[in-house]
Structures are given as structure tokens and as C-alpha cells.
Structure 1
Amino acid sequence: MTQQTAEERPGIAAALVVHEACILMVRRRVSEGQLSWQFPAGEIEPGESPEQAAVRETAEETGLGVAAVKLLGERVHPKTGRLMSYTACRVVGGTAEVVDTEELDQLAWVALAEIPEYVPYGLFGPVQEFLDATLMS
């Protein structure tokens, strides 16, 4: 990660919310290239950690209360060129629904075996490893 890249465009924080052996995914109204289904995510605001942004974005997009458990990793996304941070989260309250109707049109709780139907180009290695370990149990 270079400081220059971080200053040009804020990083994106994604929340990996696992509940009852499924991962929460949301579908954007406007796809970012091949990205239409993804994890709840959004720009990291000034003074905010990636974990704080993941928790906030999940609440803003889905109304679900979550707590950050662990930062899984960061990378420059190969499809968007944006710095991405991935945070494992657990549900602490509420029910997931499409709250941000301008940005989202659908959400789904997805089982491990179904992920390739939603994300056909594969997942970031540490994210896949986390889901394999968490959703297999």
C-alpha cells in the first residue's frame, strides 16, 4: 500500500458477516464492472479504522448490528483498483434487510457451496480461507 494511493481515493472496507453457516452478501443496483454481488462494503471515512468502517457500512446498508472480530487482510482489488480491507464480523443484533435502497436492491445469506454462483471470479485468498474454515463447521 502506498501513501499516495490511499490519499487519492479512500480505501474500501468489506464486512464478512457469518451467521448460521452462511455469509451475508448484497447486490448493488449498479455493478462495478463484474461486481454485482459482494460483501457489505464502503469507503473508509477519515479517522476511521477498516474494522469501524466495515461495522458502520453493514449497519447503513442492511440495518444489521455487527461487531468486528478480526481484520483478515488487505489488497488492491484486481477488478476495481481500490484498496480493499476485509473484516470478519459477528452479528450482535437486528435483522438484515435492504436499508440503503439507493445502493442495494437485494441481499442474501449464502452457503459456502453457493458462493461461486454469486462470485464466479473467485475470492481473495485470506477471505476464502476464512470462509472455508468458518462455514465448513
Structure 2
Amino acid sequence: MTEPTSTKPGIAAAIIVQDSRVLMVQRRVAEGELSWQFPAGEVEAGESPEAAAVRETAEEVGLTVKAVQLLGERVHPKTGRQMSYAACEVVSGTASVVDTEELAELAWITHDRIAVFVPYGLFEPVQAYLDAKLRSGTV
């Protein structure tokens, strides 16, 4: 599938690695199998996916991050939404659930726990990025 099946705006996700862990958030309302995911939200008109990932991270978990690399884009196989994935680095702040309407909790996940939180697997470029960034931190 190359075209989005939804007319809704695209979604940008922030892939944030710190201290050999990746940040994941749990949505209050699961979208099918999607419960745990990366901080993410809709790309606003005139906004780049990277800028949306940075903005959504601040709004959802209170972290100031900078986008360092666009890892890839795809139509999400479970939602039909256009997805963009941006690798981000923490600039300042401590992650906490700021958007209590959307999020139930957050967790910093080690490489060996990713499949527990996302049993259906990650987008290949995201998985490859996390393999490279996190494997050196696992035992």
C-alpha cells in the first residue's frame, strides 16, 4: 500500500533514546492493537514531520527534544494513517505524563523489552535505528 487510506493528517512519532532506553507512552484509549507507542501526534498544516515530533513530545511528556534524523515514512498497516518517524535527542527536561487526557503512563524501555510493549513489531527503519542505539546498552 503506497497511498494513505485515511484523509486525516499524517502522524509524526518521536524516537527518543536516552541512557540506553527508548521512551514509549501508553495511550488512554488503544487504537486496535496499538496501546504502547512512541510520543506522536498529527502534523499540523505547514509543519514538517520533524517539527511535529518535537512539538508533540513537549505537549505529551514535557521533554524538550531536537530532531536529528528522519528515519522513514510509511502508511501504518494497522491504522492506514501516514506515519513519519523522527529520531530525537533530549535537550532538557524530565519525561512525565503531561497530557493526561491522551496518556495513561510512560516508560523507558530497554532493547530486550521492546517486543513486550510492541508485540506486532516496529517499522523496519525504526527497529534498525533502535538496534544500533540500544544493543550496546543491553547485557
- Which structure 2 residues correspond to residues 38-57 of structure 1 after superposition, within 5 A? 38-57=37-56
Amino acid at match of 1:57: E
Deviation, 1:136, is 1.4
- Whichever residue aligns with residue 64 of structure 2, its letter is G
Report 1:100-119 matches (<5 A): 100-119=99-118
Runs of 4+ that moved beyond 6 A: none
How many residue pairs align between the two structures? 135
CA RMSD of aligned residues (A): 1.3
* 1:98-124 CA distance string (max 9 Å, x none): 000000010000000000110000000
- Identical amino acids, percent of aligned pairs: 67
The alignment partner of 1:8 has SS state of coil
> How do 1:40-119 and structure 2 match up within 5 A?
40-119=39-118
Are the structure 2 counterparts of residues 7 and 111 from structure 1 closer, same or farther at C-alpha, using a change threshold of 3 Å?
closer
- Look up the equivalent residue of 2:119 and give its one-letter code: P
Contact 2:5 2:81 in 1 (8 A): no
Q: CA deviation at 1:8?
A: 2.2
Deviations 1:45-78 (A, max 9, x none): 0010000000000000000110000000000000
SS at the partner of 1:58?
A: helix
TM-score, scaled to structure 2: 0.94
For structure 2, the 5+ residue unaligned runs are none
**For residues 94 and 103 of structure 1, what CA distance do their matches in structure 2 show?**
20
Give the Cα–Cα distance (whole angstroms) in 1 for the partners of residues 6 and 77 of structure 2.
19
Map of 1:26 onto structure 2: 25
Cα distance between partner residues in 2 of 1:127 and 1:64:
20
Cα distance in structure 2, aligned partners of 1:39 and 1:122: 13
Decide whether aligned partners of structure 1 residues 110 and 100 sit closer, same or farther in structure 2, where only a CA change above 3 A counts: same
- Alignment partners' CA distance in 2, 1:105 and 1:38: 12
- Distance (whole Å) between structure 2 residues aligned to residue 25 and residue 31 of structure 1: 14
Counterpart for residue 125 of structure 1:
124
CA distance in 2, matches of 1:104, 1:64: 15
Q: 1:113 to 1:44 in 2, by over 3 A?
A: same
Aligned equivalents of 2:7, 2:118: Cα separation in 1? 28
